[in-house]
């Protein structure tokens, strides 16, 4: 990564922060960590952050997160995969009833 070491340290700290967040960058980091070593995943996520920041500065546009649609798609794929796997093992999956908020208890 070209630039001062302070830039690198700032992006490294940003990646460490991203590791504990619920964002598209976190999903990217988790995917990279599953395929590579943790240090390589940190560097790859840092590069993605740098490219994103550079693009934002170049175009002058604010950051638009894509985590909601990507997250929903990922969760749906995981649910279908787990359902198929359970059926393959002979189990039948039934959705649990949604839990409504309990009625407030009145005290005299």
Phi-psi region of 90 (alpha: psi -120 to 50; beta: other; left: phi over 0): left
Q: For 31-81, how does the pLDDT look when each residue is reduced to its tens digit (9 = 90+)? A: 889 999 988 988 898 898 888 888 888 888 887 776 556 667 778 888 899
Residue 6 or 44, more confident: 44
Find all residues with CB under 8 Å of 92, minimum gap 6, and list them.
86
pTM: 0.56
Q: Write down the residue that tokens 């009625």 correspond to.
A: 103
What percentage of the chain's residues is helix, strand, coil (to nearest 5)? 65, 0, 35
Within its chain, how far is the Cα of 73 from the centroid? 12
Instruction: Say if residue 65 is exposed, middle or buried (CB neighbours under 10 Å; 0-12, 13-18, 19+).
Output: exposed
Highest mean pLDDT among 5-9, 15-19, 34-38: 34-38
Mean pLDDT of the chain: 81
């Amino acid at each position: 990564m070209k630039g001062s070491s302070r830039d690198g340290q700032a992006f490294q700290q940003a990646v460490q922060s991203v590791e504990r967040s619920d964002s598209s960058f976190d999903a990217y980091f988790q995917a990279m960590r599953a395929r590579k070593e943790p240090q390589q995943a940190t560097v790859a996520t840092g590069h993605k952050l740098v490219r994103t920041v550079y693009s934002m500065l170049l175009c002058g546009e604010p950051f638009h997160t894509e985590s909601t649609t990507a997250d929903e798609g990922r969760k749906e794929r995981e649910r279908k995969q787990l359902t198929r796997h359970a059926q393959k093992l002979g189990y039948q999956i039934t959705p649990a009833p949604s839990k409504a908020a309990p009625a407030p208890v009145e005290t005299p």
